[in-house]
Homo-oligomer: A and B are copies of this chain.
Amino acid sequence: MNAVTQITPVILSGGAGTRLWPLSREDRPKPLLALTGDRTMLQLTALRTAGDPRFTAPIVVAGQVQADAIEAQLAAVGIAPLALILEPEGRNTAPAIALAALAAPPQSPLLVMPSDHAITDLPAFHRAIDAMLPPVAEGWLATFGITPDGPETGYGYIRIGPAIAPGVHRVARFVEKPDEDAARAMLAEGGHAWNGGIFLFRADALLEALARHAPAMLAACRAAMAHGVRDGGRLLPDAAEFAACPADSIDYAVMEKADRVAVAPVAMGWSDVGSWDALHALGPHDGNGNALDGEIVALDVRNCLIRSDGPTIAAIGVSDLIIVASGNNVLVMPRGRSQEVRSIVAALQAKETGE
């Protein structure tokens, strides 16, 4: 492959995320945390393409407050980004990807990856990329269709259409986050995949689609980049121009509207690590099904996630609990309810405001 057809990884590192409170907080967003091992989610994401000659260094799109931490974390694993685009404010995924597409070589396929997902089967991920490249070279916009392993209601689904290339299908239809009955029906029927938010498309193809389906967004992003400032490896789009940019997801703005949209169904040990339950599922587990991290003493403890970044947590005789100590906070809840962490964060904020 020559330089023109090298793939440009685009890492989206926006959003603080409170679903892993108290570990993830405004000032310690999830991508910057080491959740599944010694390396942070951002580092693991960048390392999925590093050292492979088919890929350039990544373009990272992030908020300005994260700039120093991102550069330091990437440097720690020997990665210098091709560009670090610092959004003046978050506008959802479509503008972030548009900015990256405007900074990338026009014909380069962009591998768009959220910075906080886990992928445990890296060869499967790379095989899916290989399969997607021919249709992507022809201008198809491609998404990774995660093989569902349960009736999840937290993800959008994709109905898989006819094959257009080996391992790649036309998207028949995008399905909004379903209720549980609908999710079960899709699972029973087969032919559906989760929309994991990982994409592969040529920069120019994405920009063409934006021009057709989201022209105001593209215009604002173009203007923001044209009037932006370069500061070493950092690109700072113009804040006033970017403020005019509509906020929208890449799914709504482009993928659900464009003509030639493809999906590569793939089982690659994917998780969005979107909850403590998801993190418990990822493991690793001890012989009693516990995912333990930090200074933990567990006696007669089963199927718990216990995690501390400071205090010693001593647990005895409990099962199916999530126990997390971080900073000046401790969380205790049963497994299966970790979506309710938001309620805790809301209650804490209300308490702070009220007092």
**Does A348 have its Cβ within 8 Å of any Cβ on chain B?**
yes
A331 with B318: CB separation less than 8 A: no
Q: What is the copy number of this chain in the assembly?
A: 2
**Does A88 have its Cβ within 8 Å of any Cβ on chain B?**
no
| CA gap between A343 and B300 in the complex, in Å | 11
A314 with B340: CB separation less than 8 A: no
| CA gap between A191 and B340 in the complex, in Å | 52
Residue from B313, B325, B332 within 8 A of A321 (CB atoms): B332
The residue of chain B having its C-beta at the shortest distance from the C-beta of A296 within the complex is B330
Interface stretch of the complex, out of A25-33, A106-114, A165-173, A304-312:
A304-312
**Does A131 have its Cβ within 8 Å of any Cβ on chain B?**
no
B334 with A317: CB separation less than 8 A: yes
Closest CB in chain B relative to A20 CB, distance in Å:
13
**Does A185 have its Cβ within 8 Å of any Cβ on chain B?**
no
A297 with B334: CB separation less than 8 A: no
| CA gap between A332 and B324 in the complex, in Å | 11
Residue from B314, B315, B333 within 8 A of A317 (CB atoms): B333
A321 with B323: CB separation less than 8 A: no
Closest CB in chain B relative to A28 CB, distance in Å:
16
The CB with the most chain B CB atoms within 10 A, among A22, A313, A314, A315, is that of: A314
Closest CB in chain B relative to A262 CB, distance in Å:
41
Closest CB in chain B relative to A302 CB, distance in Å:
12
The residue of chain B having its C-beta at the shortest distance from the C-beta of A308 within the complex is B330
Q: A297-B344, A299-B344, A344-B297 are in contact. Are A332 and B312 (CB under 8 A)?
A: no
B297 with A351: CB separation less than 8 A: yes
The residue of chain B having its C-beta at the shortest distance from the C-beta of A348 within the complex is B297
**Does A353 have its Cβ within 8 Å of any Cβ on chain B?**
no
Closest CB in chain B relative to A284 CB, distance in Å:
20
B311 with A340: CB separation less than 8 A: no
| CA gap between A333 and B313 in the complex, in Å | 11
Please, which residues of chain B bring their CB within 8 A of the CB of A323? 330, 332
Residue from B317, B334, B351 within 8 A of A337 (CB atoms): B317
A312 with B330: CB separation less than 8 A: yes
A312 with B340: CB separation less than 8 A: no
A329 with B311: CB separation less than 8 A: yes
**Does A77 have its Cβ within 8 Å of any Cβ on chain B?**
no
| CA gap between A325 and B312 in the complex, in Å | 10
The residue of chain B having its C-beta at the shortest distance from the C-beta of A341 within the complex is B316
The 4 closest A-B CB pairs, nearest first, are A314-B344, A316-B333, A313-B330, A315-B332
8 further A-B pairs in the complex, CB-CB below 8 A; given A313-B330, A317-B340: A299-B344, A313-B332, A314-B347, A316-B341, A316-B344, A323-B332, A325-B325, A325-B330
